[in-house]
């Protein structure tokens, strides 16, 4: 038996290119459907883990998927905005802790997440350097943002204008970096956090400028009546909030009408959650409440349907490749007729010769399966990191 195995091994080693091609084919046939499944499962786990950690999301009526993707991953288009009054209403209900989110603006390609201090406690985010948010105009960077921008606490980040063609639009805000968050292996690593009021400053709803009733503001005034002072376009609005000008920053109108994109609602128990969801079922309700994990499950169901088709295709391709491999072996038997005759002439029995041939096939199959298993293990080990790098 050892002799047969030796002969089979020497044959495979001598025809190393043919052997390598066969092993690669077998490896791919086995690995592709299995590895794909592992990757898809890991992606699903990654996506649902954050959704599972987020009990409920309230947003304006519209696409639930857009709302969830924007609120959890700070991706996708900006969902319909709603009034901050909704967060106050939710708080007044007493059924859940509301954490408002305003995810609309960006700075150097990274999303600016306007929220409240409760968000950091809710996500378990720790400050690795500097401090958390304290003053209007402060921002806290996700670990990856700080790393990639090379910015430390005390530095600044400037918000990006929404449109380069909007010359008369809102000026960018220079935000002071108060701190950098510890690495959390989540989309929070790739975001810039500000107080929701700072997000409103970026939008121009909150701003600071010289006191128009003071003599120094004369050049910025278009018209002055007994009770109305109208400023002209030259009125300088501060683009950075400093200790010297912070007191001039003011809110226009009723703050409860200011926009937010979503509210993370954290009910204390399942009963409160059920009651809260019921409150939003009314047909007159202008807001929607979604369970992120359900929305993500729907998305994953779609992905899994596609995955089934892909795996079916891979299996068909695999079967045809396997058939080709068998054909290769059968053809090689024809090509090796003289070799087999020689083995017979030197006294090799039919069984021994068949055993040598079978050994060659078994070795190739075993090596292919072994490699495929190794690749699958590597995928399950490092796939999640690769997926995170791709989707976050």
Taking the least distance from each CB to other proteins, the nearer of 256 and 308 is 256
Using DSSP, state whether 290 is helix, strand or coil.
strand
Q: Which stretch binds other proteins (CB under 8 A): 70-78, 111-119, 315-323, 383-391?
A: 111-119
5 binds other proteins (CB under 8 A): no
Virtual CA dihedral for 115, 118, 122, 126, nearest 10 degrees?
90
269 binds other proteins (CB under 8 A): yes
230 binds other proteins (CB under 8 A): yes
237 binds other proteins (CB under 8 A): yes
Among 41, 63, 116, 373, binds other proteins (CB under 8 A): 116
Q: Buried b / exposed e across 25-51, counting CB within 10 Å, b at 16+?
A: bbbbbbbbbbbebbbbebbbebbbebb
Taking the least distance from each CB to other proteins, the nearer of 269 and 281 is 269
Among 15, 18, 209, 279, binds other proteins (CB under 8 A): 209
Backbone φ and ψ for 280, nearest 5 degrees, come out as -95, 5
Q: 194: exposed, middle or buried (C-beta count within 10 Å: 0-12, 13-18, 19+)?
A: buried
Among 91, 162, 240, 297, binds other proteins (CB under 8 A): 91
Contacts of 246 (CB under 8 A, 6+ apart): 135, 136, 137, 208
Going from the C-alpha of 339 to that of each of 14, 149, 327, the distances in angstroms are 14, 67, 19
- Please give the radius of gyration of the chain, using alpha carbons only, rounded to the nearest integer: 32
| DSSP state for residue 209 in the 8-state scheme | B
129 binds other proteins (CB under 8 A): no
Q: Which of residues 37-56 bind other proteins (CB under 8 A)?
A: 55
Q: Which stretch binds other proteins (CB under 8 A): 179-187, 267-275, 280-288, 316-324?
A: 267-275
Backbone φ and ψ for 205, nearest 5 degrees, come out as -75, -25
Taking the least distance from each CB to other proteins, the nearer of 109 and 268 is 268
Residue 215 CA to its chain's centroid (Å): 52
CB 85 within 8 A of CB 255: no
Using DSSP, state whether 180 is helix, strand or coil.
strand
Q: Which of residues 327-386 bind other proteins (CB under 8 A)?
A: none
- For residues 315 to 334, the per-residue mask of contacts with other proteins, x marking binding by CB under 8 A and - elsewhere, is --------------------
Q: Which stretch binds other proteins (CB under 8 A): 9-17, 24-32, 128-136, 183-191?
A: 128-136
Residue 297 Cβ vs other proteins, minimum distance, rounded to whole Å = 21
Among 132, 153, 161, 172, binds other proteins (CB under 8 A): 132
CB 169 within 8 A of CB 163: yes
Q: Which stretch binds other proteins (CB under 8 A): 235-243, 308-316, 322-330, 334-342?
A: 235-243
Taking the least distance from each CB to other proteins, the nearer of 236 and 391 is 236
229 binds other proteins (CB under 8 A): yes
Give the residue from 47, 167, 155, 65 showing the smallest Cα distance to 108: 155
Taking the least distance from each CB to other proteins, the nearer of 4 and 115 is 115
87 binds other proteins (CB under 8 A): yes
Per residue, the 3-state secondary structure of 109-123, as one string, reads CEEEEEECCHHHHHH
Q: How far apart are the first and last CA of the chain?
A: 54
Q: Which stretch binds other proteins (CB under 8 A): 33-41, 129-137, 345-353, 372-380?
A: 129-137
Q: 62: exposed, middle or buried (C-beta count within 10 Å: 0-12, 13-18, 19+)?
A: middle
Contacts of 159 (CB under 8 A, 6+ apart): 105, 106, 107, 112, 172, 173, 175, 202
Residue 23 Cβ vs other proteins, minimum distance, rounded to whole Å = 51
Q: Which stretch binds other proteins (CB under 8 A): 1-9, 31-39, 97-105, 367-375?
A: 97-105
Residues that bind other proteins (CB under 8 A): 55, 84, 87-88, 91-92, 94, 97-98, 100, 116-118, 121-122, 131-136, 138, 178, 195, 197, 204-205, 207, 209, 212-213, 220, 227-232, 235, 237, 243-244, 246-247, 249-253, 255-256, 266-269
């Amino acid at each position: 038996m050892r002799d047969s195995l030796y002969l089979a091994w020497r044959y495979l080693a001598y025809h190393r290119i043919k052997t390598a091609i066969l092993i690669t084919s077998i490896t791919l046939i086995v690995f592709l459907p299995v590895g794909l499944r592992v990757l898809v499962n890991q992606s699903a786990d990654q996506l649902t883990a954050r959704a599972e950690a987020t009990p409920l999301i309230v947003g304006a009526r519209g696409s639930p998927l857009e709302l969830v993707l924007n609120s959890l991953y700070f991706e996708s288009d900006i969902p319909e905005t709603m009034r901050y009054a909704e967060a106050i209403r939710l708080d007044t209900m007493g059924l859940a802790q509301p954490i408002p989110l305003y995810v609309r603006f960006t700075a150097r390609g990274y999303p600016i997440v306007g929220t409240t201090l409760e968000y950091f406690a809710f996500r378990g985010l720790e400050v690795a350097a500097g401090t958390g948010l304290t003053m209007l105009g402060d921002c806290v960077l996700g670990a990856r943002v700080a790393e990639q921008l090379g910015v430390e606490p005390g530095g600044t980040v400037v918000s990006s204008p929404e449109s380069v063609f909007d010359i008369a639009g809102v000026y960018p805000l220079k935000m002071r970096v108060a701190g950098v968050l510890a690495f959390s292996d989540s989309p929070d690593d790739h975001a810039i956090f500000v107080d929701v009021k700072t997000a409103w400053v970026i939008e121009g709803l909150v701003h600071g400028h010289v006191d128009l009733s003071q003599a120094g503001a004369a050049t910025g005034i278009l018209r002055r009546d007994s009770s109305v002072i109208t400023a002209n376009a030259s009125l300088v609005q501060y683009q950075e909030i400093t200790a010297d000008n912070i007191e001039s920053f003011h809110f226009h109108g009723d703050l409860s009408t200011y926009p937010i994109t979503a509210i993370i609602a954290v009910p204390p128990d399942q009963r409160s959650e059920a009651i809260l969801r019921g409150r939003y079922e009314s047909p007159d309700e202008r807001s929607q409440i979604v369970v992120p994990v359900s929305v993500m499950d729907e998305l994953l169901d779609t992905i899994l349907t596609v995955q089934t088709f892909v795996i079916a295709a891979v299996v068909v391709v695999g079967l045809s490749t396997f058939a080709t491999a068998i054909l290769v072996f059968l053809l090689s038997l024809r090509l090796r007729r003289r070799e087999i005759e020689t083995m017979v002439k030197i006294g090799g029995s039919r069984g021994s010769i068949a055993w040598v041939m079978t050994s060659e096939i078994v070795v190739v199959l075993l090596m292919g399966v072994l490699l495929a298993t190794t690749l699958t293990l590597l995928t399950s080990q490092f796939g999640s990191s690769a997926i995170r790098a791709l989707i976050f």
